[in-house]
């Protein structure tokens, strides 16, 4: 394994890293914003939207992301109407197709994660909000969503990592993401390990960072769920150390 080769081609890997991080971060951000209303429609059994959203999440959670991306990138060109529409500028581009596929995919998963968390809201909290005279919308905004987002945090952390893992399929449609950069380096110098191993290391570093971030977020926002340590001052404003795992 020739490490010098990897450092000589650092610009490829930087491009790859930027593309991967951008694709995943933008997809997660859009997906999160979209999934809040969709999950409310599911949890509150909206007569029209609940079945529609159910069908949507069932379809995108039950099929491989790779094929969803192929359907968008290779498939849409089958229709002349698409090729002649104004959207073709976006849809013929692999990067945008990957982004659209990732958004559709992560929205489906996040919607179901949030739905589960909404449905797990302790009924007492809702009753208390009603007793305090909150309107249904205020209840959702002030009581249900804050506790839902906390409860969804661990599952959402997993979804972020799975989205990062899933994003490698972008390299199969010519996007230069981290794996794509590895493939280019391999092809350019006719080597096998250098590109793939460097890609693996970069992904592992990202996953490690995400895991640390969510550990921190959980410690901060789920502090009230941690077992109280004996001898710790109750109600003190100093943060308690993390519970032993």
Q: How many CB atoms lie within 10 A of CB 156?
A: 21
**Of the listed pieces 3-11, 75-83, 92-100, 129-137, which binds another protein according to CB under 8 A?**
75-83
> What does DSSP assign to residue 226?
S
Using the rule CB under 8 A, is 62 a contact of another protein?
yes
Show contacts with another protein in window 76-95 (CB under 8 A).
Answer: 76-79
Given the complex with another protein, which of 5 and 76 has the nearer CB atom? 76
From the list 25, 33, 52, 71, which residue makes contact with another protein (rule: CB under 8 A)? Answer: 71
From the list 24, 40, 41, 65, which residue makes contact with another protein (rule: CB under 8 A)? Answer: 65
Secondary structure in 3-state letters for 141-199: HHHHHHHHHHHHHHHHHHHHHHHHHHHHHHHHHCCCCHHHHHHHHHHHHCCCHHHHHHH
By C-alpha distance, which of 138, 116, 140 is closest to 42?
116
From the list 161, 219, 221, 240, which residue makes contact with another protein (rule: CB under 8 A)? Answer: 161
Using the rule CB under 8 A, is 171 a contact of another protein?
yes
Using the rule CB under 8 A, is 199 a contact of another protein?
yes
From the list 7, 58, 87, 216, which residue makes contact with another protein (rule: CB under 8 A)? Answer: 58
Q: How many CB atoms lie within 10 A of CB 18?
A: 14
Size of the site for another protein (CB under 8 A): 39
Given the complex with another protein, which of 85 and 192 has the nearer CB atom? 192
Given the complex with another protein, which of 43 and 177 has the nearer CB atom? 177
Cα dihedral sign, 107-111-112-116: positive
Given the complex with another protein, which of 7 and 208 has the nearer CB atom? 208
Alpha helices in the chain (DSSP H): 3-8, 10-43, 49-61, 65-70, 80-84, 88-91, 94-119, 123-131, 136-138, 145-166, 178-189, 193-221
Angular region, 132: left φ>0, alpha ψ -120 to 50, beta rest: alpha
By C-alpha distance, which of 86, 93, 89, 38 is closest to 69?
93
Q: Nearest approach, Cβ of 63 to another protein (angstroms)?
A: 5
**Of the listed pieces 42-50, 89-97, 132-140, 197-205, which binds another protein according to CB under 8 A?**
197-205
Given the complex with another protein, which of 155 and 240 has the nearer CB atom? 155
Given the complex with another protein, which of 44 and 196 has the nearer CB atom? 196
Using the rule CB under 8 A, is 12 a contact of another protein?
no
Which residues would be at the binding site for another protein (CB under 8 A)?
Answer: 58-59, 62-68, 70-71, 74-79, 161, 164-169, 171-172, 179, 182, 192-193, 196-197, 199-200, 203-204, 207-208, 211
């Amino acid at each position: 394994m020739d490490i010098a080769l990897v450092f000589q081609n650092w610009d490829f890997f930087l491009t790859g890293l930027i593309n991967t991080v951008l694709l995943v971060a933008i997809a997660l951000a859009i997906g999160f914003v979209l999934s809040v209303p969709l999950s409310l429609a599911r949890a509150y059994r909206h007569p029209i939207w609940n079945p529609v959203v159910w069908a949507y999440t069932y379809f995108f959670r039950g099929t491989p992301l790779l094929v969803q991306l192929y359907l968008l990138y290779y498939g849409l060109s089958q229709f002349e109407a698409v090729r002649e529409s104004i959207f073709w500028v976006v849809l013929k581009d692999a990067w945008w197709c990957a982004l659209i596929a990732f958004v559709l995919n992560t929205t489906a998963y996040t919607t179901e994660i949030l739905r589960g968390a909404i449905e797990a809201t302790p009924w007492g909290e809702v009753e208390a909000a009603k007793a305090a005279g909150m309107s249904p919308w205020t209840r959702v905004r002030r009581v249900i969503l804050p506790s839902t987002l906390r409860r969804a945090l661990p599952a959402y952390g997993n979804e972020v990592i799975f989205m990062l893992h899933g994003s490698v399929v972008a390299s199969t449609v010519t996007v230069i993401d981290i794996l794509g950069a590895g493939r280019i380096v391999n092809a350019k110098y006719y080597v096998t390990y250098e590109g793939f191993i460097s890609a693996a290391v970069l992904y592992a570093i990202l996953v490690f960072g995400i895991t640390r971030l969510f550990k921190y977020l959980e410690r901060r926002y789920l502090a009230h769920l941690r077992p109280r340590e004996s001898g710790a001052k109750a109600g003190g404003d100093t943060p308690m150390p993390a519970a032993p795992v």
